[in-house]
Chains A and B, each alone.
Chain A
Amino acid sequence: MTDFFLIAIIVLIFLVIFQISKASEYVSVLKGEEKSRKQNNKINGFFMIAFLIAGLIGVWYCNKFYYPKTLFPMGAASAEGKNIDTMLWITILVTGVVFFATQILLFWFSFRYQESDKRKPLYFTHSNKLELLWTGIPAIVLTVLVVFGLKYWFKFTSDAPKGSQLVEITGHQFGWEIRYPGRDGVLGRKNYKLTDAGKGNPLGVDWSDVASHDDIHVPTTMHVVVNKPVKLVINSQDVIHDVGLPYFRMKMDAVPGTPTTLWFTPIYTTEQMKAKTGNPDFTYEIACDQLCGRGHYTMRGVVIVETQEEFDAYMASQKPEYYKAFPDLDPDKIAVKDTTSKSVAQNIKK
């Protein structure tokens, strides 16, 4: 019933607006079309300047409310992200000046030069000086932006610094898998045709590569060390995903068949960020930024930034994936088995 009333009200509003508009048309015909046209012109001219002022106030309010909710008041959480923020401020400055200047001119001219019987329009077809001016200045300003942009771009996309921590992240519908290279610092070879979750090999690791035997695989949560560059090797198992790290200002697609990389240096631990943001639930999240199917919006990962000691302790507590796939070869289990069999033997002796 309420739906029905709602529709009825909307239709009624439409009818009223429509009838008023029709009536105003008849009135204008009666009043003399030229006269009512000039009246309308004045009204719209006034609206132009009113819209400009309301718009500028709106821009100010919007900034006041929403700027604190963006990531910029507290700065980037990675060393490289700081560069991106600098870049952003330069760009805001340049485009901001142009934005306000041109919008103000546009609406001011519209208001100021509305039709008037007192003024004749100026016949002004071109001016090479002016046109050169507004070809040249944008070209120079843009060159500055390009130079800054490319300087940082080449820095971020160059090889990761020596001694970076290596982590592999693999996307699939709809989640992330993390693999660490273990003590040898080398990730074992993979071949997607070997993928078999039933046999403890969900990533398709080639066990014949010895480097794979100490690799550690965990779902969803990635641990990295603060102030140490980390290099991500990014894979996808099915469709294109994207590793989005808004706090670090980093992003890179995960493309099936083509591994990609990205590196950054986190500068605040998760604990520090909790204090900095005043949010006890704060976590660095990995957001999938490339549409990947119905669960796209749930494809969440977590990065935990911690000190080297905490990281080492965490790694020590993890078991290599190889031993999850082949529990019989697990030295810990073999040791346990040995002790149990010994005790059994002892029992038998007794």
Chain B
Amino acid sequence: MNNDETIHETPLVVHDLGHEAHTHHHKETFITKYVFSQDHKMISKQFLITGIIWAVIGGLFSVIFRLQLGYPDSTFPFLEDIIGHWGKGGKIDPEFYYALVTMHGTILVFFVLTAGLSGTFSNFLIPLQVGARDMASPFLNMLSYWFFFISSVIMFSSLFVQTGPASGGWTIYPPLSALGEASDGAKIGMDLWLASIAMFIISVLLGGLNYISTILNMRTKGMSMTRLPLTIWAFFFTAVLGVLSFPVLLSAVVLLLFDRHLGTSFYLSDIFINGKILPNEGGSPILFQHLFWFLGHPEVYIIALPAMGITSEVISVNSRKPIFGYMAMVGSFFAIATLSFMVWAHHMFVTGMNPFLGSFFVLLTLLIAVPSAIKVFNWLTTLWKGSIRFTPGMLFAIGFVSLFISGGLTGIWLGNSSLDIHLHDTYFVIAHFHLVMGVASMFGMFAGIYHWFPKMYGRYMNNTLAYIHFWITIAGAYCIFWPMHYEGLAGMPRRYYDFSNWESFKMFGGLNEFISIVAMIVFATQILFIINFFHSIFKGRKVTTQNPWGANTLEWTAPIRPGHGNWTAEIPEVYRWAYDYGKDGRDFIPQTEPVGADEHRH
């Protein structure tokens, strides 16, 4: 968008929204303000709170299956009250154990770390940080949330069907997921899973197109692409990844539905099950894996990139120092986003895929370590010689870097196909991806919540509770996942309900119990966070200054509690990048301040 257009358009928009703000006082009803809202800030809160509810459910599931893993010989009669016939006599049914594992993965990956993380912060920050009154299409934005809501309702309902929810792992590999004869979870629960994910994909696409067009077209005057905060770059690449990869998952879902109900053989061939010879011939289950991981791997970065963007912003603000190597950060985002489309088959080294093909995926996968290394070193250099304020957001951002290093380095092990032969589908993999994208991205999300909570609700969260939350969570995360590397090196397979019959894997009983105990403590600590979150919305200490963190970005130039339209007067104009901290002896220089004549150039 060139300057002329901006200048001509800005007053128009102001006029429009002046009108809206006017009606706001009189006609905004509960329904239009809180339910079918088109305000990006309200939509972001809807995403956040729905995400939190899902996180509690998904986290609780992990606690329940950790009970089984930690205490395989005990019974827990109270379980029968919660999960009914799946927990007869206080013992979890193996089928339900697998359903719990599947739902834990699905919920956390899609509903919490995709919708809850990117949905929340893309919505909240894009218009506020690029200087726009709202998204390009507030209506589609609203639809994006409501498709997510429908998807959530369908998935939630699948928990209550007689044969149980999907139980074939979050990757739902056919034939296990295609044949009702193969498992109870592959009956109606699987159909609900597929329907839910189809709705979810629509939500991601509507949201993603909106984010991309807002970032490209609705930047305020002076906000060139290279002046964007890194958060926005991260959300931009996240949205691009989502828009390009989720449709492929939709195709995989549709073909799977055809195989399930219309007698096609896309994924099925040569199957003899339950004494029955199936007529399907010529299909390949490996096709599904290619389609699934073509989304599945970019999905990892859809989860990780927003957390990286938030971390970059929060670290820079709280070190009172510019982010080191801004262009290298943008470049590495671009490199990661591009490479993430060319590495999917590293999940499939041992499927019998052509080994020559596999070698390319080894090369490209290990290549991702280069932009990741650039990011880590740039974060470290940003901290170096800074003046660090340990706000809760900052603690979680530092925690993100630590976890990202720990989990990222083991990616170099798993991406190397020769090593992957031994480590594939063991606890090593669980340790790797939980650290690098699970817990790390949760940390990115927490950093974002603590950092922007004052902007969202005009109040602060309680710091003491936040500190307790951080220190227990990071220590707990390492206690849970660090020892799992050793279990993985011993070849202990993932997704086992019980190890006691295995001569090779039964020596880790004590460790499994320890991990389960820590998991419960960490889960309880998250409840503390949730109490803090909801209590602070209503009773938190009020924000009294417009810019409590002394940050440069545009959202802090808006009123403390911005209405629909964000700025009451004209949209601010931008004159510089977002990272002038500690320049020429000044603590910070907001983006809206014109560059002085004698100012130092960088």
A interface residues, Cβ below 8 angstroms from B: 3, 10, 14, 17-18, 20-22, 24-25, 28-29, 37, 40-41, 43-45, 47-48, 51, 54-55, 58-59, 62-63, 66-67, 69-72, 81, 83-84, 87-88, 91, 94-95, 98-99, 102-103, 105-107, 109-110, 113-116, 119-127, 130-131, 134-135, 138-139, 142, 145-146, 148-150, 152-154, 156-157, 172-173, 192-193, 195, 197, 204, 234, 237-240, 242, 244, 246-247, 249-253, 255-258, 260-261, 279, 281-283, 285, 287-298, 300
Contact = CB atoms under 8 A, between A and B. Distances in A.
B504 A249 contact: no
Contact of A257 (B269, B381, B410): B269
B471 interface: yes
B269 A295 contact: no
A138 B369 CA distance: 8
Given A142-B369, A293-B176, A153 B384 contact: no
B240 interface: no
B418 A83 contact: yes
Interface stretch (B190-198, B215-223, B482-490, B560-568): B482-490
B383 A106 contact: yes
A298 B462 CA distance: 48
Contact of B373 (A71, A110, A138): A138
Interface stretch (B291-299, B347-355, B448-456): B347-355
A122 B489 contact: no
Nearest to B406: A99
Contacts of A106: 380, 383, 398, 401-402, 405
A134 B424 contact: no
Given A62-B482, A113-B319, 12 more contacts: A28-B463, A95-B409, A98-B405, A113-B383, A113-B388, A126-B324, A142-B412, A192-B277, A238-B273, A252-B352, A255-B351, A256-B175
Given A21-B462, A122-B582, A250 B270 contact: no
B493 interface: yes
Interface stretch (B12-20, B203-211, B337-345, B494-502): B494-502
Interface stretch (B3-11, B113-121, B139-147, B278-286): B278-286
A237 B497 contact: no
A260 B285 CA distance: 13
Interface stretch (B29-37, B247-255, B356-364): B356-364
B1 interface: no
B341 to A, nearest CB: 19
A255 B352 CA distance: 8
Nearest to A234: B352
Interface centre among A48, A115, A242 (most CB of B within 10 A): A115
20 contacts: A25-B463, A40-B390, A72-B489, A115-B389, A116-B387, A122-B582, A123-B584, A124-B321, A127-B325, A149-B419, A197-B275, A257-B269, A260-B351, A261-B352, A287-B504, A289-B426, A290-B425, A291-B176, A293-B182, A300-B501
Contacts of B602: 123, 125-126
Nearest to A283: B503
B489 A71 contact: yes
B380 A14 contact: no
Nearest to A235: B270
Contacts of A51: 471, 474-475
A251 B417 CA distance: 11
| Interface pairs A-B: 10 shortest CB-CB | A246-B491, A257-B269, A260-B352, A157-B355, A44-B390, A66-B486, A21-B464, A149-B416, A297-B496, A122-B385
A113 B387 contact: yes
B433 interface: no
B328 interface: yes
A145 B366 CA distance: 9
Contacts, number: 377
A240 B353 CA distance: 14
Contacts of A145: 366, 412, 416
B413 interface: yes
Contact of B283 (A17, A22, A257, A292): A257
A119 B499 CA distance: 56
Given A21-B464, A204-B272, A119 B486 contact: no
B579 interface: yes
A342 to B, nearest CB: 42
A169 to B, nearest CB: 13
A121 B387 contact: yes
B495 to A, nearest CB: 5
A149 to B, nearest CB: 4
A78 to B, nearest CB: 11
Contacts of B463: 24-25, 28, 40
Interface string B538-561: 000100000000000000000000
